[in-house]
């Protein structure tokens, strides 16, 4: 069958969730080392909502209408060449390089092969679509930057979110003593994921009850929360800060307090995703999908995400499994 267009959710301009509308957009043409994937499910991320809203420091696109979305899980339609490791029909998942490519809120996406890994066999496409961007962010912060290890004390600020629930699990997997912040309703679940201590941020703030951690992973987009978390660090400790917008304000405060600090920016990475696949298939790590929406309900998913109380991930179902 020759396609000329495909179904997608697009924005014509930045604004609220209602700007996400269905449209027929050009079918992607695969070039060079790209893999063309039929998308079964697309993960929803805070950076998608930031781009949609045109928030400062979010990725900008100059291709309008813009197909948003980074995460996808689906099936290979076209591989770069006959002897490539990925073949048509293979179940895969990965992270599109939006805004430098068309996003994943669509029936098809064409992405560099280095962004695509085999889908964990034990996961459905809906579950797998919740993994790439959040797990790659958590892995980068926990393993590559903080170098999680036995006995290290790690505070994960917002342990119950998309990135947080992977960060808690990766840090615990590598033997760290994990303290996670979250609301009371998530306390038991966070302990199941591997948190040794949970601080209910509504009744006590982590800086008052947690001391001498080696690392703070900041996943709360709130200058005051980030700044207070510095008090939980031991002298010379490290803060790794994910929200782009508040990084500039935090860096000089960390330096003035004699702490090490860095921002972070996630990138597509098939090799790391292959490791994450093994951890998911072995059951050492799990993904939690809080809710699933149809592709054309993307606006509802964005509204929900922007309330900032998702447990784990939200996913869009593009076609049936």
Ligand X SMILES: NC(=O)c1ccc[n+]([C@@H]2O[C@H](COP(=O)([O-])OP(=O)(O)OC[C@H]3O[C@@H](n4cnc5c(N)ncnc54)[C@H](OP(=O)(O)O)[C@@H]3O)[C@@H](O)[C@H]2O)c1
CB of 162 to ligand X, least distance (A): 3
Structural tokens at position 120: 């964990």
Q: Which is nearer to ligand X, 79 or 266 (CB)?
A: 266
- The radius of gyration of the chain from alpha carbons, rounded to an integer in Å, stands at 19
Distance CA 311, CA 6 (A): 31
Q: Which is nearer to ligand X, 183 or 303 (CB)?
A: 183
Say how many CA atoms lie within 13 Å of 93 toward its Cβ.
30
Structural tokens at position 164: 């947080």
Structural tokens at position 103: 């996003």
Q: Which is nearer to ligand X, 112 or 159 (CB)?
A: 159
Q: Which is nearer to ligand X, 47 or 67 (CB)?
A: 47
CB of 207 to ligand X, least distance (A): 12
Which parts of this chain interact with ligand X (CB under 6 A)?
Answer: 45-47, 133-134, 137, 157-158, 160-164, 181-183, 186, 201, 219-222, 225, 242-244, 264-266, 305, 308-311
CB of 115 to ligand X, least distance (A): 15
Closest of 18, 5, 25 to residue 306, by C-alpha: 18
Q: Which is nearer to ligand X, 117 or 266 (CB)?
A: 266
CB of 186 to ligand X, least distance (A): 4
CB of 74 to ligand X, least distance (A): 21
Comparing every residue's Cβ against ligand X, the nearest one is: 161
Structural tokens at position 113: 């092969």
Q: Which is nearer to ligand X, 74 or 182 (CB)?
A: 182
CB of 311 to ligand X, least distance (A): 5
- Long-range CB pairs of 141-145 (<8 Å, 24+ gap) are 141/167, 141/217, 141/240, 141/242, 141/264, 142/167, 142/170, 142/171, 142/174, 142/217, 143/170, 143/174, 145/238, 145/240, 145/262, 145/264
- Backbone angle region of 212, left / alpha / beta, with phi > 0 → left and psi within -120 to 50 → alpha: left
């Amino acid at each position: 069958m020759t396609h000329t267009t495909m179904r997608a959710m697009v924005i014509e301009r930045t604004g609220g969730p209602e700007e996400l509308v269905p449209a027929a957009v050009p079918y992607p043409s695969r070039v060079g080392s790209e893999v063309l994937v039929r998308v079964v499910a697309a993960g929803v991320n805070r950076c998608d909502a930031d781009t949609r809203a045109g928030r400062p420091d979010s990725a900008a696109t100059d291709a309008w209408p813009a197909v948003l979305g980074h995460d996808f899980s689906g099936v290979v339609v076209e591989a770069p060449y006959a002897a490539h490791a990925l073949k048509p029909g293979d179940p895969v998942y990965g992270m599109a390089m939006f805004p430098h490519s068309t996003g994943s809120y669509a029936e098809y996406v064409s992405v560099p092969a280095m962004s695509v890994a085999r889908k964990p066999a034990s996961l459905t496409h809906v579950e797998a679509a919740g993994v790439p961007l959040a797990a790659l962010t958590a892995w980068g912060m926990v393993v590559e930057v903080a170098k999680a290890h036995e006995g290290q004390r790690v505070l994960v600020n917002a342990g119950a979110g998309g990135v947080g629930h992977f960060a808690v699990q990766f840090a615990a997997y590598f033997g760290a003593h994990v303290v996670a912040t979250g609301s009371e309703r998530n306390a038991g679940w966070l302990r199941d994921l591997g948190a040794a201590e949970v601080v209910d941020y509504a009744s006590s703030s982590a800086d008052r009850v947690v001391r001498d951690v080696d690392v703070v992973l900041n996943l709360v987009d709130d200058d005051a929360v980030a700044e207070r978390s510095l008090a939980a660090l031991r002298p010379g400790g490290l803060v790794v800060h994910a929200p782009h917008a508040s990084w500039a304000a935090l860096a000089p405060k960390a330096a003035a307090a004699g702490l090490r600090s860095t921002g972070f920016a996630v990138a597509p990475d098939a090799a790391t995703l292959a490791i994450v696949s093994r951890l998911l298939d072995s059951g050492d790590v799990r993904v939690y999908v809080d809710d699933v929406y149809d592709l054309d309900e993307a606006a509802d998913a964005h509204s929900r995400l922007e309330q900032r109380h998702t447990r784990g991930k939200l996913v869009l179902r593009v076609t049936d499994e």
